[in-house]
A = this chain, B = another copy of it.
Amino acid sequence: MSEVGEKAVRARDAARRLARVPVGIRNKALLGIAAELVNSCKYILDANAVDMEAGRAKGLSRALLDRLMLTPDRVEEMAAGVKAVAALPDPLGTVDGMWTLANGLSVGRVRVPLGVIGIIYEARPNVTVDAACLCLKAGSAVILRGGSEAFRSNLALAQVLVRAALDAGLPEGAIGMIETTDRSAVEELMKQRDCVDVIIPRGGAGLIASVVNNSTVPVIETGTGNCHVYVDEGADLEMARDIVINAKCQRPGVCNAMETLLVHKASAAAFLPVVLEALGERGVEVRGCPATRAVASWVVPAVEEDWATEFLDLVCAVKVVEGMEEAMDHIYRYGSGHSEAIVTRDWGRGRRFLKEVDAAAVYVNASTRFTDGFQFGFGAEIGISTQKLHARGPMGLAALTTYKYVVYGDGQVRS
C-alpha cells in the first residue's frame, strides 16, 4: 500500500478511537504539545534552517522566505496558540436540540467529530501546528500535507506533535504527515473518500483551485477575497476614509482586505480628493475609473481585469457609481462572496445592503478586516470559507464538527 493509503487507513482507525477520547485528554495532549514545542525549539529551528538555506538557494522571494522562517519567538507564539485552543470549550457532545415524536421516540441532534480531516497547505510551517491542534481539539484525526519548501520544518513539527499526542494518550495515527514529496501523493490524498471526510486547502488561489477541481473528497474552499467598500450618498466621510484606509492598508496581503472602493457620485466630489490623498500617502497604487482619474492625475486607468482581481497588495481599484443599485450589481458581478461593506447614514439603505448583498460577511459602517474567527469571538480559526455548504465565513471549532441523530425508543416500529 502507498504511504498515503496507509496513513489514510491509520487516520480512519485513529478517528474512531479519538471520537471516544474525553476532552480532558484532548486538552492534556494540546498542553503537552505546547510544552514540547518550546522544549524542542532548537530541533525545530535547525530543521527550519535547512529549509531556509534551500529556499535561498532556490531563489524564493523575500515574502515567501519570511513566511517560511521560524524564530524562537514564532515557536513561542505557536505554543501560545495551542494553549489557547486547549482553553476553548469542547465543541463536541453538545445537543443542538432534542424533541419527542407522537409515538414517544425521543430524537436528539448531537455534535460529533467529522472524522478525518485532510489539510493541504503551502509554505507556512505554523499551519502544521495550528491546523493539527484544532482538528485534535474537535476530536478528528488529521492528515497534513505541507508545501515542499517547508518540508523539513513540517516534519520536525509533526514529530513533536505526534510524540506529545501519544504521550498524552491519543491514539496512534491521530496526526499523520504525508512525507512523499511528489505531486502524486496530493492527488492520491484527494481521492481517499473511504477514509478522509473533508479536505481543507490553505494557501493561494492556485492551490485552492487545484484541490477543488481534483478532489472527490468533499472540500471546504477557503480564502479568496475580492472585497468592496461602498461609500454611500450622504455618508460620514471621515468615517468612510478611516474605514477605507483600514480595510486597504492595515494588512493588505490578507483575504479580508478591501480590493475595490465604490463611491456614490454624490459623495465623489468631497470624498475622492480626501481618500485618494490618504491612499497615496500610504503608497497605495490606485487604479480608477475616468471619474476617479479626473480628481488625481496619478491614478492609473482601471481595466476590466482590475475589478476582478484580488491584489493582496497596496493596490486599490476605485469606481464612482450612480447609486447603491450599481454598487450592488458591481459586487454581485465581481465579488468573491467574502466580505462587503457599506458606509452610510441611511437606515433603509443599510438594511437593504445587509439583506441583498450575498457574502460570508456583510458590514454596515465597519472595516471588512473584521472577518476573522478571533475577531468574531470564536477563539480560533481554521480558515475563512467562501463557499456556502457546511460553513461560511470564519470557521472556528464548530465548523470542524458534524452531528448525528440519536433516537431513544421503547420498541417503536413504523406503521
Closest to A403 in B: B392
Dominant SS among interface residues on chain A = mixed
Which of A59-67, A143-151, A359-367 makes up part of the contact surface? A359-367
Asked if residues A246 and B413 are in contact (CB atoms below 8 Å), the reply is yes
Q: Does A379 contact B (CB under 8 A)?
A: no
Q: Is B20 a contact partner of A370 (Cβ separation < 8 A)?
A: no
Tell me if A388 and B114 are in contact (CB < 8 A).
yes
User: Are B405 and A362 interface neighbours, CB within 8 A?
Assistant: yes
Q: Mark A98-111, 1 if CB is under 8 A from B, else 0.
A: 01010001010000
Number of contacting residues on A, CB 8 A? 67
- Out of B212, B359, B375, B407, name the residue touching A193 (CB < 8 Å): B212
Known: A115-B388, A358-B16. A407 touches B101 (CB 8 A): no
Number of copies: 2
Q: How far is the CA of A3 from the CA of B410 in the complex (A)?
A: 53
Contact A409 B365 (CB under 8 A): yes
Interchain CB contact under 8 A, A367 and B414? yes
Within the complex, the shortest CB–CB distance from A197 to chain B, in Å, comes to: 5
Docked-complex contact B219 and A218, CB < 8 angstroms: yes
Counting chain B CB atoms within 10 Å of each CB, the highest count among A107, A193, A392 belongs to A107
Q: Which residues of B contact A371 (CB under 8 A)?
A: 405
5 further A-B contacts with Cβ under 8 Å, apart from A16-B358, A220-B389, A365-B409, are: A19-B356, A107-B376, A239-B411, A375-B414, A394-B405
Q: List 30 A-B contacts (CB under 8 A).
A: A16-B332, A20-B355, A20-B356, A101-B376, A107-B377, A114-B388, A115-B388, A193-B212, A197-B388, A198-B388, A212-B216, A213-B216, A218-B219, A239-B411, A243-B411, A246-B413, A250-B414, A360-B404, A361-B405, A362-B404, A362-B407, A365-B408, A365-B412, A366-B408, A366-B409, A367-B414, A371-B405, A392-B403, A393-B404, A393-B405
